[in-house]
Amino acid sequence: RATGVLERYEPPVRKILLLLPCSARKPYSLSPSHLMFINAMSRYRGWIHELILTSPLGVVPRELEIVYPAAFYDIPVTGYWDAEERTWVSSRLRAYLERTANNYEAIVAHLSGPYKELCSRVVEELNLDIVYTCEDDEEVTSSAALHRLHERIRALCGDEERRSGFDQKVSVFKAVADYQFGIGVGKELVSRKEGEWVKITGTFPAYKLSVGGDLLARMVPEFGLLALTLQGAQRLEHALSSYTVRIDDFLPKGSILAPGVISAGEHIRVNDEVLFRGPRAFGVGRARMNGWEMLASRKGVAIDVREVQAI
């Protein structure tokens, strides 16, 4: 899903786009270098949209750093990229900026070395203005570079008031839901009716989302995806036809076997979050087979059931 980051992603509304290098530790936010970047942004972080440049994925928005494959690839961060890697990352950055550059008032790049080189070429080709906060071969975590980052951001934000970190957490749920299920699902998930409140609990990356007092979804770092509760599944059922499995006339317990499947979305893949519905049951679980395999197989577990409700 490397290209899927752009196909299934709508960036949040922010004043500044900040381009950052990747880190060896995943998710990036927990790495020593990114903790320094976050500290340098300080009170202005709520006005900033963070985009991480990385090989082999190209670009990873901060909101999607916990998803597969962004949080799961493991390559050494050597500072050296071959020609193929540079071409790939450049193409992904170019595609992102062509689509979104006009969304921001300013673009800031806290990059050095090959990151800065390829970024410079891309923004020159697109005729974009950009603010650099690192010298060509300066360490991005040096005191001078971090101070420069803070000062540039402070100057761009001016007297803007601090924005709550809650907005960033909501944008994570929205982005992951869109990436996982398709554009528009995230908005459905985090929307609230008049009088309802949205609450996010837990410690990153294991956040939990509740709306109107109902727990709807939780982040599952082991899979890099959202897990829905029954309430969350009911809320999104109309939007998740591609991830819905029709089952026969029975009430499943721990799992659903392939012979009990009547139909399944063709886009369903192993480990995807799926809804299932039959004459006697509605529930949510995780796919153990691809959608087509559920229909073609005569044996084996199709779905691990997490929650089920008798109808």
Distances (CA, A) of 304 to 232, 247, 258, 286: 17, 13, 11, 5
CATH number of the domain at 218, please. 3.10.450
Check whether residue 188 and residue 80 sit in a common domain: no
For the segment 145-163, what is each residue's pLDDT rounded down to a tens digit?
Answer: 999 999 999 999 988 888 8
Check whether residue 227 and residue 279 sit in a common domain: no
Check whether residue 61 and residue 129 sit in a common domain: yes
- Give the per-residue pLDDT at 95: 94
- Going by pLDDT thresholds of 50, 70 and 90, the confidence category of residue 222 is confident
Per the CB < 8 A criterion, the answer to whether 245 and 273 are in contact is no
Q: Which domain holds residue 274?
A: 240-311
Check whether residue 170 and residue 226 sit in a common domain: yes
Task: Specify the 3-state DSSP secondary structure of 147.
Answer: helix
For the segment 9-38, what is each residue's pLDDT rounded down to a tens digit?
Answer: 999 999 999 999 999 899 999 999 999 999
Per the CB < 8 A criterion, the answer to whether 45 and 154 are in contact is no
Check whether residue 136 and residue 35 sit in a common domain: yes
Check whether residue 246 and residue 284 sit in a common domain: yes
For the segment 95-124, what is each residue's pLDDT rounded down to a tens digit?
Answer: 999 999 999 999 999 999 989 999 999 999
State the average pLDDT over residues 33-61.
94
CATH number of the domain at 151, please. 3.40.50.10630
Check whether residue 219 and residue 248 sit in a common domain: no
Last residue in a domain, options 163, 195, 211? 163
Check whether residue 20 and residue 134 sit in a common domain: yes
